[in-house]
Chains A and B, each alone.
Chain A
Amino acid sequence: MSGSKPDILWAPHHVDRFVVCDSELSLYHIESAVSSELKAGSLRLSEETTATLLSINSDTPYMKCVAWYPKYDPECLLAVGQANGRVVLTSLGQDHNSKSKELIGKEFVPKHARQCNTLAWNPLDSNWLAAGLDKHRADFSVLIWDISSKYTPESAVATEKVRLSAGDTEAGLVVTKPLYELGQNDACLSLCWLPRDQKLLLAGMHRNLAIFDLRNTSQKMFVNTKAVQGVTVDPYFHDRVASFYEGQVAIWDLRKFEKPVLTLTEQPKPLTKVAWCPTRTGLLATLTRDSNIIRLYDMQHTPTPIGDETEPTIIERSVQPCENYIASFAWHPTSQNRMVVVTPNRTMSDFTVFERISLAWSPVTSLMWACGRHLYECTEEGKASSLEKDIATKMRLRALSRYGLDTEQVWRNHLLYTEDMDQKLTGNKGSLVYAGIKSIVKSSLGTTENLRHSRSGSDRQADIIQYLSEERSLALQLCGWIKKGTDLDVEPFLNSLEQEGDWERAAAVALFNLDIRRAIQILNKGASSEKGDLNLNVVAMALSGYTDEKNSLWREMCSTLRLQLNNPYLCAMFAFLTSESGSYDGVLYENKVAVRDRVAFACKFLNDAQLNRFIEKLTNELKDAGNLEGILLTGLTKDGVDLMESYVDRTGDVQTASYCMLQGSPSDILKDERVQYWIENYRNLLDAWRFWHKRAEFDIHRSKLDPSSKPLAQVFVSCNFCGKSISYSCSAIPHQGRGFSQYGVSGSPTKSKVTSCPGCRKPLPRCALCLINMGTPVSSCPGVSKSDEKVDLSKDKKLAQFNNWFTWCHNCRHGGHAGHMLSWFRDHTECPVSACSCKCMQLDTTGNLIPAETVQP
């Protein structure tokens, strides 16, 4: 202890205590404190723990090293090695029982004063304390003291000329005769007892590592090396030892002690401490000078015996417990991977080194990870807003709520999922061979008639040109402005917008239809409605001031102030009113206005060339952005697939893509590889979620729209005798050559009551349970009484057909009526046929899974 650098030690048995020592010894008590308030006098070590100072011991000056007594009792007995080579026993405990009283204050004095470098208690014979000293001529440097030994004879003290204080000698507390003296003419820098045998001591000497055997002190085993500091034995693998020199750690195997089994990558700064984790195999923590990082080496494998040339895998990791430099650290003796670090200014921090976490997402949205020996499952819970939810969750929920299947009522879908407009759009287009406005408008070239109108509705001055054509009105229909039919009346649309409270949009649409009076009326209505925005009145007022004058103040003010309006529709209205005829960029490129309204506007006011250019430009923009509103323009064409591709690339929402593109059949976009791939991916998702019913519904829906996707019959049953198919109805579809000849009774689909083969009239096999030939309707289960049947009537009816089905086990090929089989396997695991031990129902694990929809709330 140089005074400035504190060291830290955990109590070996009292796991809530540790000692910080620099110039004095301070005992701390650690406790968990979840609350954020600190008790008086306690220090915060981490978010969950605090430490309280219990006592301070400053009796022993010039401390160089400290070692904690390894036994449970006495509690806080410490050996302190001093700069003059003396070893003093001292205590921080509160309970002074007789044994500790006897020991405390005892001093062990070497012949020659020099620095004590290290101390090590023998873990088994706890009376033995080894001390490693600096070199002093030919004197011994490793002394093993017996702490129970009594005061040594006066003569010995006298001859050794040790300056002892009178008080010490009187109390009989000074011991000068060590039990063993080792390492003559050498210096000892580090020591540790080998757990292999209590009489083996490993010492880091001046230029070698030596193993002293106390049974025969004349012998020692040694290996020359520079790595002599901080010798420490792996607590999980007693033949493995670590030591260090400068920035390099050497790992030794005592069974082949000649050279290190490996040296760890050198660190730029000299090491100060190396320690094995006591709670985990093969984890070595190292600390260098002036560093805030503790570097960990994870040795996953104990070195294999001699003859194996493979290097053990070492995973290098580093942790940073605090911002400051670390003076020292200590592993917690029992708590897993936990350590406390102390900085030079004695701030402490308690933290746990986490194991490498391995993790996996389950197909349903939960995350599982393994940290150390523990598993944690993490699920998404609580109601996150739809924006925060991941697309995987969204698709799951949508699949459960019949997303995309209700195509007859497209508006219902629309209301269910306001975020996605596509269903509505595709639905609207149902009658239009799925062409988008883009192609509709293209075809309208040259057929346009012009109408001149005044903006104000009065016919004072005709300065607005409106364009009309059949195709354009079709486009307006698609945009939802007008209803099907030839009249160009937007009134129903305005009414519906008013009902939805979409006042600004309604007003804008009215204005774009050159009905400024109606627009003002709508705004007034909006202002006076519940939750209405009174500002709408102001807007209406501004609107009513409209004048055709080109250079009026009104026009000037409106064109500048409109940019401050928050609502895009209001903004667009003024842009329209203040714009020159024929240039409506303020409306057309107002991106917050719905694409539908902008396109409808364009159809009304742009000439053919302009319109085409606008539509082209907008389409490409929307395609690049993957904006589904663009489907209005592209339709379900190749362009539409491109747009959808861009949408899927961004969102991964194959669900919408699949349903949307299915609507496009029987056009050839379904044959697009990308579309097929989306559908395949979506079906795969549903399968992974065990939404098998949904998947089946999707397939049914798909085969309705795309008959080519219908799968072929999967199973053919042939008669035992004649080998012909026993099915009556499947003959309509030619099956793939499987060796079954067909039997076609086309036109006479007899009820499956017949118990014999339709080909050779031989009886069909018998049900293993009722022993009646298959093909007979099943009688209700024998155990069920009449009253029960009545209750379950509806359920029975549903199942009645199924109960008649043939079922058999593919493995043992026994079977019978499905109903009978199911009720048998409810109570049995083996086949009902005598002497057949087939576990029919357990053969298929996936078959035992329950579709997820049925367990969903």
Chain B
Amino acid sequence: MFVARSIAADHRDLIHDVSFDFHGRRMATCSSDQSVKVWDKSENGDWHCTASWKTHSGSVWRVTWAHPEFGQVLASCSFDRTAVVWEEIVGESNDKLRGQSHWVKRTTLVDSRTSVTDVKFAPKHMGLMLATCSADGVVRIYEAPDVMNLSQWSLQHEISCKLSCSCISWNPSSSRAHSPMIAVGSDDNSPNILAKVQIYEYNENTRKYAKAETLMTVTDPVHDIAFAPNLGRSFHILAVATKDVRIFTLKPVRKELTTSGGLTKFEIQIVAQFDNHNSQVWRVSWNITGTVLASSGDDGCVRLWKANYMDNWKCTGILKGNGSPVSGSSQQGMFNASLGSANTSLQNSLNGSAAGRKQS
């Protein structure tokens, strides 16, 4: 049973991204109003905005946290063609007394000539690394060699994807059996049938990222992509938000069988495909164990997907974008009266029928 409640966000324009830190006690949001807000959770579970500042001179598309062992570090990327690394400092000012914290810009990454569409920190076992992707089709991987000095970032890799990139995801696996890997999605909507998801893997021998796989079946624009937390599995799970929700598994073919030092070969399977959002799917997000996937789409709903023991994926919940439940589906969230009845927004009738279809 899922219950939704609304939080006064106080952004002046659309919120584009929400991101939690490692512990889930802090949250960052970014918006078209060019600002980033940081939220802290109080012990009673309420969120308080503890910082809000102008970060870019354009819409801020994404914001992401570094692992706390590198300090309180955020990265944001924007339409203004830059990605920026921020660090919270405990400074001379009395901000803390007012319940506000102070964030300083540590570096601006200006290599892109077009809008930077996504930014993601690498899994912590790789050190302090950051990947960005941009509309001109380039994925850039930066590294801070000295974790004490966040103003020094060197551009380590530039991967040209040939297609306008919209999203990236690191493979979170820290197993030594898995090389660092990054998946890139493209929202290129020109009428071609090129595959829109590419997977790059780091090759120890050449010290470069090379294309390991291309998901040939995904030819529609991709809006989001997410590797599931690995959690000790022997394979990887990748969720793709395109005109439907798709879940792929990538099973590494055992290294011994492949030529040593080369790229890992994968056995790729599509394990689920859902068009219940009716149209475009905008975002996908995995829970901490990689067992529940949340997706959002043009039907204005958030849907939850979960696999059973037989690896059959099913919808386990639907919630409307405004937190109210979808009619005709009893198992989904209860209506929360505090949700502001002034918001008389309604879901189109099609959702109801889609939900009904699912029920039957």
**Among residues 342 to 360 in chain A, which have CB atoms less than 8 Å away from a CB atom of chain B?**
349-360
Cβ-based interface call for A460 (8 A): no
Docked-complex contact A849 and B25, CB < 8 angstroms = yes
Most interface-central of A301, A313, A356, A361 (chain B CB within 10 A) = A361
Docked-complex contact B345 and A845, CB < 8 angstroms = no
| CB closest chain-B residue, reference A368 | B18
Docked-complex contact A681 and B232, CB < 8 angstroms = yes
Choose from A313, A358, A680 the contact partner of B17 (Cβ within 8 Å). A358
CB distance from A651 to the nearest CB of B (A): 7
CB distance from A400 to the nearest CB of B (A): 16
Bound-complex Cα distance A310 to B233 (A): 43
- What A residues does B20 contact at CB under 8 A? 360-363, 368
**Among residues 333 to 359 in chain B, which have CB atoms less than 8 Å away from a CB atom of chain A?**
333, 341, 344-350, 352-353
Docked-complex contact B287 and A357, CB < 8 angstroms = no
Choose from B18, B321, B344, B353 the contact partner of A355 (Cβ within 8 Å). B321
Cβ-based interface call for A732 (8 A): no
Bound-complex Cα distance A376 to B322 (A): 7
CB distance from A409 to the nearest CB of B (A): 27
| CB closest chain-A residue, reference B176 | A673
Docked-complex contact B321 and A842, CB < 8 angstroms = no
- What A residues does B232 contact at CB under 8 A? 648, 652, 654, 657, 674, 677-678, 681-682
Bound-complex Cα distance A541 to B14 (A): 75
Choose from A321, A681, A837 the contact partner of B230 (Cβ within 8 Å). A681
Docked-complex contact A648 and B283, CB < 8 angstroms = no
Cβ-based interface call for B47 (8 A): yes
Q: Mark B212-248, 1 if CB is under 8 A from A, else 0.
A: 0000000000000000001111110000000000000
Docked-complex contact A677 and B300, CB < 8 angstroms = no
Chain A interface secondary structure, helix, strand, loop or mixed?
A: mixed
- What B residues does A47 contact at CB under 8 A? 327, 346-347, 352
Bound-complex Cα distance A391 to B311 (A): 14
Docked-complex contact B296 and A357, CB < 8 angstroms = yes
Choose from A322, A361, A364, A370 the contact partner of B286 (Cβ within 8 Å). A361
Given A356-B282, A390-B287, A390-B289, A32–B341 Cβ distance below 8 Å? Answer: yes
Cβ-based interface call for B252 (8 A): no
Bound-complex Cα distance A392 to B279 (A): 30
Docked-complex contact B283 and A358, CB < 8 angstroms = yes
Docked-complex contact A839 and B96, CB < 8 angstroms = yes
Choose from B10, B278, B289, B352 the contact partner of A652 (Cβ within 8 Å). B289
- What A residues does B300 contact at CB under 8 A? 352-354, 357, 371
CB distance from B143 to the nearest CB of A (A): 22
Given A358-B17, A370-B17, A395-B289, A376–B4 Cβ distance below 8 Å? Answer: yes
Bound-complex Cα distance A321 to B347 (A): 8
Bound-complex Cα distance A391 to B232 (A): 14
| CB closest chain-A residue, reference B10 | A373
Given A351-B346, A382-B1, A369–B296 Cβ distance below 8 Å? Answer: yes
How many A-B contacts at CB < 8 Å in the complex? 290
Docked-complex contact B346 and A384, CB < 8 angstroms = no
A interface size (C-beta, 8 A): 95
- What A residues does B344 contact at CB under 8 A? 32, 48-49, 335, 338
CB distance from B122 to the nearest CB of A (A): 15
Given A376-B322, A650-B311, A351–B348 Cβ distance below 8 Å? Answer: yes
CB distance from A411 to the nearest CB of B (A): 26
- What A residues does B321 contact at CB under 8 A? 354-355, 357, 369, 371-372, 376
- What B residues does A849 contact at CB under 8 A? 23, 25
Chain B interface secondary structure, helix, strand, loop or mixed?
A: loop
- What B residues does A837 contact at CB under 8 A? 92
Cβ-based interface call for B189 (8 A): yes
Docked-complex contact A320 and B296, CB < 8 angstroms = no
Docked-complex contact B1 and A320, CB < 8 angstroms = no
Docked-complex contact A358 and B296, CB < 8 angstroms = yes
Bound-complex Cα distance A47 to B351 (A): 12
- What A residues does B18 contact at CB under 8 A? 358-360, 368-370, 375
Bound-complex Cα distance A855 to B42 (A): 12
Bound-complex Cα distance A421 to B16 (A): 46
Bound-complex Cα distance A376 to B319 (A): 11
Docked-complex contact B283 and A359, CB < 8 angstroms = yes
CB distance from B117 to the nearest CB of A (A): 9
Choose from A313, A361, A373, A391 the contact partner of B285 (Cβ within 8 Å). A361
Most interface-central of A336, A369, A855 (chain B CB within 10 A) = A369
Docked-complex contact A381 and B114, CB < 8 angstroms = no
Cβ-based interface call for B254 (8 A): no
| CB closest chain-A residue, reference B26 | A845
Docked-complex contact A651 and B348, CB < 8 angstroms = no
Docked-complex contact A677 and B175, CB < 8 angstroms = yes
Cβ-based interface call for A441 (8 A): no
Cβ-based interface call for B100 (8 A): no
Docked-complex contact A377 and B68, CB < 8 angstroms = no
Bound-complex Cα distance A648 to B234 (A): 8
Cβ-based interface call for B126 (8 A): no
Bound-complex Cα distance A366 to B282 (A): 19
Given A319-B348, A360-B20, A369-B296, A380–B289 Cβ distance below 8 Å? Answer: no
Bound-complex Cα distance A338 to B346 (A): 8
CB distance from B92 to the nearest CB of A (A): 7
- What A residues does B285 contact at CB under 8 A? 359-361, 367
**Among residues 664 to 707 in chain A, which have CB atoms less than 8 Å away from a CB atom of chain B?**
673-674, 677-678, 680-682, 685, 687-690
Cβ-based interface call for B9 (8 A): yes
Docked-complex contact A379 and B2, CB < 8 angstroms = yes
- What B residues does A650 contact at CB under 8 A? 309, 311
Can you list 23 A-B pairs with a CB-CB distance of less than 8 A?
Answer: A46-B347, A320-B279, A335-B345, A354-B321, A357-B302, A358-B17, A360-B19, A362-B20, A363-B24, A364-B288, A369-B294, A370-B18, A371-B321, A373-B10, A375-B7, A375-B15, A376-B6, A378-B323, A381-B1, A390-B289, A674-B232, A681-B230, A690-B25
User: 4 nearest interchain CB pairs?
Assistant: A354-B300, A352-B345, A357-B296, A370-B15
